[in-house]
Amino acid sequence: MVMEIRIIGDPALREKCRDVGSVDEEVEDLFKRMRDTLAASPGRVGLAAPQVGVLKRIFIYDLGHGPNCIINPEIIETENKTVCEEGCLSIPGISISVPRFQRVKVRCATLSGHKIVLEAEGFPAQVLQHEYDHLEGVLIIDRCDLDVPPSQDTKSCWRPRVFPPRCCSTNTIISRVY
């Protein structure tokens, strides 16, 4: 079942989400509905619960190998800041230059309830940071770096959307159970 994606201006997008207590049937159902919603949005790779009006610390991503569910994420390590072009389902039609780290470690739980640490580099790291921001009530427009020279002849960090965005050429996520 496809859920309605909340658009900029919706108060749910500005709320800090609550931790998920346990993975139960309700969480599993939310994952399935979010998976269907992401699948109905061609070219997109991630979706956070507040984008569908649910204020829980859950997001999903799909880098081409099937959807993954991340629960109660915490970014525990970052490395090498860069600037990336990003778009967002909740801010349709534009992309923005956003500062991101090229490598991150994220402690989280999976849909099966396992606690893991993800190590991501390049575009996957960008995706994890973008979706994590949604759980904190942060949108890409909040991270827009006005000191970065605009591309081509635009005069701001807002640009017409061109996909797929890429931060780096590497494309890896490694998970470890802890």
Is 62 domain-assigned?
yes
Exposure string of 88-126, with b = 16+ CB inside 10 Å and e = fewer, is bbbbeebbbbbebbbbbbbbbbbbeeeebbbbbbbbbbb
Indicate which residue of 85, 86, 121, 131 is catalytic: 131
Annotated active-site residue 131? The verdict is: yes
> The CATH number of the domain where 32 resides is what?
3.90.45.10
**What pTM did the predictor assign?**
0.85
Q: What confidence tens digit (pLDDT) does each residue in 96-117 have?
A: 999 999 999 999 999 999 999 9
Q: What is the pLDDT of residue 144?
A: 80
Domain that holds residue 32: 11-177
Is 161 domain-assigned?
yes
Is 3 domain-assigned?
no
Q: What confidence tens digit (pLDDT) does each residue in 9-61 have?
A: 999 999 999 999 999 999 999 999 999 999 999 888 999 999 999 999 999 99
